[in-house]
Structure 1
């Protein structure tokens, strides 16, 4: 008999154990924040140990030591040009691309707030008034009762007011995964603004250096034009004295006109570059015309540019940081999609007051209410949820590949800038020697020509060679400064300073 009782009680005990175990599991999920789907792990790309472009020959201008923060934060100050620094500061404050990026941050922050609200219950108030009626059939179909029409027959009034509450319990973390994704989206927009700043500062620097280079080219052209006009005058006087033929006069005039033709082209380029700078500062094209019209030297490249190690680039470049945040968002959205496989639990409640006249609506006896839990669990959806999970996994894979591509592009940018910067230094040194020797050749050819020991062709050749080498020297100085700016951009410098103007 005892054995029989035990056998009868065993199924009941198993049911109780299962019930309590289920409660424990759900309670644990609720308390500890159980979330389905993969957790984000930052990618760990394979990076070289050192930069190949930073050779021993370049050590005088390039340092692989980790830079002080200010070195990259305000890299333009290393050029020691107050006008350049002023343009940079104004561009960070007023550039329209930067302001658009700031607005995108505010949008992402607001979207995150919308997503976070799903964790909390909702409470809605409602009220209605309705008048309804029907024809009075008590008098028969063939009789018209005028008094009934006046009274309104079966017309009725309905006044109703109530509250509706609902709370979806995030047992499996779908909502929390969505908030995690929105947080990553917000971080991606922050990094996007930083990347816009890096690009903007580089563009301002390049355009400013271009401007000073064009002004230097114009000055050289004007200086050579004056020298060639002087030579043309000498040739004309010698022709009038009968020492040379008209061919020398024609050659001198042709050379002078050719050099003079360069000046209008350079002036047009100067104006165009000023217009570019004005727009980068968020101002009308002619806003900086007066400020920048006066000639100034090309900014001198800093004596040393610290570049750090390739591993530093991952945390420094905003475009890499942005794609990493996008990977985080894609990983979290796999969890959002996975949560749809599991049941959704919610608590709902309703309190309603109804009456046929307005004064009685608030009467406690006219209330109706309901409260209770709801469970929704998809049984058949033709594979929609699982296909959506696969979609999110594919998005994550694409983003991971984009991350690898971004890292490779960043490494290429730095290596290219290092090589260009180093080789341009050699080019500038050789051009300095060429200019010095060409100036000697011009002086010597003029002395020989005026003494009748050489023909005018040698003078023209020497002057043209000097003009070409001087212009090439200016271009090399410009290119060296631009290569320095490109290197700072490749390293991801400058965005920290722009954080001060961001609306938080």
Structure 2
């Protein structure tokens, strides 16, 4: 004759063989993208572009040590990176919790009970008062026969992968934002230098015209026009200073510092030469491996697909094994004595047949969210291709514009020199000098803007390619963001717990 334990354990053994063999809901497979969706190469064929592997620390291509320093500081202290890192920690904690579903639940249980029975309930000769003490180890375990736990772990794993990809995207975005803000600030400094240079030249012209008015070689009208041009040039400086201060403050925030205490690192002098080095941009197919937003959208799709299985498992019975082993005695001193041992084990089957309507509604919700995630993934890929194509076209246009601005500026500078020389020698009219100097000022400012736009175009290329986060995988590189840095006084700090 079989014992009660055998009567329970033998059927359960058959169930154990089925565990892991079936998981309800669809099995996920990554979306396949045809080669026709990707161009053969990026942008127009150009000597400035190569198909070599994208440089991890692409900002070093600008040969500006100050920029490298700023990006390293931003990766270590930026608040957006810190937020993304904490969200990744949250997703990993959810994953750890989901994996606990494979393990039994329960633990030690201590109990005391005191009862007072009525006279009718009390057998003759026994006390109406009864008490019992219980010390046991209670446990329950869900047999994941239909894969609810496995699908939950699958969804949590994919969600953690999505958060990790989003963190990489924030890291790459911060690096690109620091570089773009740095070059905007440097461009404004170059414009201020042009304003200072032109202002000095205009003062010299005004002094020359003033002397010529005294010698009856020029008119008061000429002097007033010269003074008006000088004041017009000087009036551009305050707005440029404001924009430069705003760019500096933006850098401070990117580095997790207050604008009032932030100090810029020393920068090398601005290079006036047109230096365009070849850019290693890889191939379009590799975009899927580098773009963090595409990876995040793909993992979000995987998580949504797994949640269909989680909800589908609600249509099937939930099987648990419950058990307890311990002691029950009438007094605390008797616990552990012979005859006080108590134990039980048995399966429990719950099947919420009356909830099928609710379960099917939740399944429909999960299926709709999966369809939405698939559309978001396709849209993310299309936008990535759009962003990269726009970036390469902008780079080509910025390079051509810069070359033309160089020629324009050189011509206007020479025309301005000749106009001043001719007027000083008594030839020509001062109106020609004014027009030449006005054109010289405008073209020199346009040249500095074109040089800034060219650098920003290069930054936009690497931002579109999704590179830069790989540096964070190198040993010794701090990319923790503000998560690991104490910055502002937050009052009572949240302590880290293992």
Q: TM-score range by the shorter chain?
A: 0.7 to 0.9
Say if 1:25 and 1:35 are closer, same or farther in 2 by CA, change over 3 A.
Answer: farther
SS of equivalent to 1:214: helix
- Other-structure match for 1:232: 206
Match of 1:54 among 30, 35, 43: 43
Question: What secondary structure is seen at the aligned counterpart in 1 of 2:55?
Answer: helix
1:42 aligns with 2:16: no
Deviation at 1:358, TM superposition (A): 1.9
8 A Cα contact 1:431 1:473, kept in partner: yes
Give yes or no for the alignment of 1:197 onto 2:185. no
Task: Structure 1: give runs of 5+ residues left out of the alignment.
Answer: 1-21, 138-152
Unaligned 5+ runs, structure 2: 1-10, 121-126, 481-497
The separation in 1 between residues aligned to 2:351 and 2:31, in whole angstroms, is 35
Which deviations, in whole Å up to 9, do the C-alpha atoms of 1:2-44 show, x marking residues without a partner? xxxxxxxxxxxxxxxxxxxx999845522x5321211111112
Structure number, greater radius of gyration? 1
Q: Does 1:380 align with 2:380?
A: no
Matched, 1:305 2:279: yes
Q: Do structure 1's residue 81 and structure 2's residue 55 form an aligned pair?
A: no
What is the Cα deviation at residue 268 of structure 1? 2.1
Question: What is the deviation of 1:319?
Answer: 0.2
CA contact (8 A) 2:58 2:468 kept: yes
Matched, 1:428 2:402: yes
Distance verdict in 2 for CA 1:294–1:77, change over 3 Å: closer
The answer to whether the 8 A contact 1:211-1:274 is kept is yes
TM-score (norm 2): 0.87
Shift of 1:308: 2.6
Whether 2:403 is the aligned partner of 1:403: answer no
Query: 2:162–2:300: 8 Å Cα contact kept in structure 1?
Result: yes
CA distance in 2, matches of 1:444, 1:502: 56
Larger deviation, residues 42-51 vs 422-431: 42-51
1:10-409 maps to which residues of 2 (within 5 A)?
Answer: 26=15, 28-30=17-19, 32-46=20-34, 47-50=36-39, 54-56=43-45, 59-63=46-50, 65=51, 67-68=52-53, 71-131=54-114, 133=116, 157-289=131-263, 291=265, 296-297=270-271, 302-409=276-383
Distance 1:293 1:54 in 2: 32
Comparing 42-51 with 419-428, greater Cα deviation is found at 42-51
Bigger Cα displacement from structure 2, 114-123 vs 96-105: 96-105
Where 1:172 maps in the other structure, the secondary structure is: coil
Alpha carbons 1:40, 1:328 under 8 Å: kept: yes
Contact 1:301 1:481 in 2 (8 A): no
Question: What is the distance in 1 between the residues matched to 2:338 and 2:182?
Answer: 78
**SS where residue 355 of structure 2 aligns?**
coil
In 1, Cα distance between the equivalents of 2:258 and 2:459? 25
CA contact (8 A) 1:274 1:286 kept: no
Between the aligned partners of 2:42 and 2:328, the Cα distance in structure 1 is: 82
- Tell me by how many angstroms 1:123 deviates: 2.9
8 Å contact from structure 1 (residues 101, 192) kept in 2:
yes
Q: Give the drift of 1:295.
A: 6.0
The alignment's TM-score, normalised by the length of structure 1, stands at 0.86
Cα displacement (A) at 1:61: 1.1
Kindly indicate whether the alpha-carbon contact (under 8 Å) linking 2:185 and 2:244 is maintained by their aligned counterparts in 1: yes
